[in-house]
Amino acid sequence: MNIIITDAGRAALINAQNNGTNAVKLTQIAISDSNYTATAADTSLPTEIKRLDTFAGELVAADTIHVTIRDESLDVYSMRAFGLLSDDGTLIAVYSQASAIVEKTAGSVALLAVDIKLDRADATNIEIVGDAGFMLPPGSALVAGLLKLTGEDTPLDDTSRATHSLRVTQMLNQRIGDTNPDDVAHWTAAWSWGNHALAGYMVAGTADNQVRSNAQLDGRYVQQTTLGNANGVATLDSNAKIPLSQISDTVLGQVEYQGLWNPTTNEPALPTTPAKKGDYYIVSQAGARFGLNFEVGDWLISNGDKWDKVDNTDAVSSVNGRTGHVILTAADVGAAASSHSHSWGQLSGIPAYASRWPSWGEVSGKPSTFTPAGHNHSAANITSGTLAGARLPMATNATQGAVKMRISGTTLYIRNDGANA
């Protein structure tokens, strides 16, 4: 981040003769929550919250210093601006931004580490006089920091110091005896499942405070390299079950093809009782074996106790000469289409009156009496009886019809006008 050197800070860096610079000591850092634009004319921070002397820094470039700020108080604030103050209270440099640089809560430790690039100034002329101890606090199991190394007189239960490899060896010797070997080769051999006796254990036995021998360990423990591996031991999953990948196919009964088999010659030679569940063979030649009759294509399969047959010869091999996925039409099997017709001569077993009008006696379901009803008939349908003359049309020169007769004595005369004379 680019920090601005104030006019007052620049004046403090340059001596009155303007022929050199004076080292300026930075002793405090002022913090503000104000959202403003910092300028070189600033002499103080607006709405300053507090000042911290728990900071430290070091020069990392001619114009850059690395500064670490720490606040362990219970104060709550948002840092949006900060300024570097000299030992006489002069605001040497200032920085601000709109968003919060640090959000401090009551239960937290504010820690800010930044590389500050100074414009218009040589960082080598700035000396930071802060409390550097907090930058490297004493280390512990919960806090990262500096640790002291253990010495030969450090108690074995000291938890405030770090232990180097030589001291570890010395501490082990104190536990098991100073006269035992403590070289790396012996310990490497012991802890890599080598010769435990070579590690120099003083007391061997099965009590809680004794060391077990190789034979005793082998009977109670397993090596890491044998877990889940061939000729080793099976592991357990999260449900305390052995994973399927570590269970033998013999137990699972997984079907596994073994090749072709001839039941007549028993080639390859198979025992009467199968050795493995799930093994199967495909019959290459018809024959009998194990009390079973086989055709080509059948399976011989083990159920774990005996051999069984999977009959594959009853399957349809072809339909009307076709194989594979067959879809038949009526013509494929000589059948008529679903929609078709036949001539009368192709029909058999038809009733006698199917080809003629039935006689009155052949009609079934007819009524015994017929209720008369008004109706008409054409003249062509009248074959008997006499029609009334009034219903006949009069004959003309162009059409046929009725004529009237005149009787004169015994002679009949035909007139077309109906007169009697």
Whether pLDDT at 108 is above 50? yes
Query: Closest Cα to residue 200, out of 218, 216, 182, 174?
Result: 182
Share of the chain above pLDDT 70, in %: 73
Report if pTM > 0.75: no
Whether pLDDT at 17 is above 60? no
What does the pLDDT read at residue 386? 76
CA quadruple 175, 179, 182, 186: dihedral sign: negative
Q: If pLDDT is split at 50, 70 and 90, which confidence band does 300 have?
A: very high
Instruction: Give the mean model confidence (pLDDT) for residues 345-370.
Output: 78
The alpha carbon of residue 296 and the mean position of all alpha carbons in its chain are separated, in whole angstroms, by 45
Q: If pLDDT is split at 50, 70 and 90, which confidence band does 216 have?
A: low
- Mean pLDDT is highest, among 81-85, 141-145, 320-324, for 81-85
User: Do the Cβ atoms of 45 and 30 come closer than 8 Å?
Assistant: yes
Q: Which residue has the higher pLDDT, 405 or 236?
A: 236
Whether pLDDT at 240 is above 50? yes
Whether pLDDT at 332 is above 80? no
Query: Closest Cα to residue 44, out of 63, 22, 28?
Result: 28
Residue 61: strand pairing partners: 64
Rounded to whole angstroms, the Cα distance separating 366 from 353 reads 16
Residue 358, preceding peptide bond in cis (omega within 30° of 0): no
Q: Which tokens in the block code for residue 24?
A: 């300026």
What does the pLDDT read at residue 193? 46
Instruction: Dump pLDDT digits (tens) for 148-195.
Output: 788 878 777 777 778 877 777 777 776 655 555 545 555 555 555 444
Q: Which residue has the higher pLDDT, 373 or 106?
A: 106
What does the pLDDT read at residue 383? 79
Query: Closest Cα to residue 97, out of 162, 167, 12, 33?
Result: 33
Residues 6+ apart with CB under 8 A from 374: none
Share of the chain above pLDDT 90, in %: 21
Q: How many helices (H) and strands (E) does the chain have?
A: 5, 21
What does the pLDDT read at residue 292? 93
Residue the block writes with tokens 């034979």? 215
